[in-house]
Structure formats: C-alpha cells, structure tokens
Amino acid sequence: MEKLYTASVTAKGGRDGHIKSSDGIIEFDLRKPKELGGQGGATNPEQLFAAAWGACYLGALGTIAQHEGVDTSEATVEVHVSFNQDGNSYVLSAELDVHIPGITIEEAQSIADKAHRTCPYSKATKGNISTRVTAL
C-alpha cells in the first residue's frame, strides 16, 4: 500500500473540546448535541464524519458514473450518522440518501451501490456499522 496523503488533526477535550488540523485550515470547538445532553451550538463528531463520508462518497460515485457514461455533476448525497445505544455500549449507524438527476431510480441505485463498494469511507465502516444506501 502506497500512502498518498495523511491528514493530521489534534483533538482536545473530547465531545466538548477543540480540534485543529496541522495546517490550521480546520480549527473550531466541538460541543455535545442537545439530544445527547450537551449544550449544542457547535459541530460534533457525527456531523464531521457525515460530512467527510459524503464528500468521499460523491468522489467514488463520480468515478463509477463516469465509467457508465452518467453525468453526476448535480448528484447529491445526504449522509445521516446516528449515535446509538446498544445495551451498555454505543454504536454508530448510517444512512446515505443518494440523488442522481436524469436517470431512473433503478439505475441510480445500481451506481449508488457500486460507489458504496468502492468509497474508502464505506470500506472502512463495512461490517462495523449498520449502513443503508438508498437512491431517491
């Protein structure tokens, strides 16, 4: 495996803390959401994970669609990352709602599934969290 890029972010204080990337482009506070008993008012790890996964997933979707001659320049994915309690532990789950204008739902679902199999974030979570991918 050839390492092409490494992101480096320092986190301090956990869910009610602060993060900063090594290049200084990302730097902000984190807050536990109100739904988890926090004060809210700032981003949280689930939002950051959903944002990163969505961006990566659309890259994979574009690559797959290009090979199939489908334009995905207007495609969107809405990523829902949920924080769940499972007995005495916590687990994540995810739902990816994919919209590819100009093709049928069946065609979109096929491309969405292929993108899910190739996206590095999807691969990283495979077998680790419950994930649903649905073309809308």
pLDDT tens per residue, range 67-111: 999 999 999 999 999 999 999 999 999 999 999 999 999 999 999
Over residues 3-15, mean pLDDT: 97
Residue type, 13: G
Q: Is 120 helix (H, G, I), strand (E, B) or coil?
A: helix
pTM here? Answer: 0.94
DSSP letter assigned to residue 74: T
Alpha-carbon distance 95 to 105, whole Å? 17
DSSP letter assigned to residue 94: E
Alpha-carbon distance 94 to 76, whole Å? 16
Q: Percent of the chain scored above 90 by pLDDT?
A: 100
Residue type, 41: G
Confidence (pLDDT) at 110? 98
Kindly report the number of other CB atoms within 10 A of residue 112's CB atom. 26
Residue type, 51: A
CA 51 to chain centre: 5
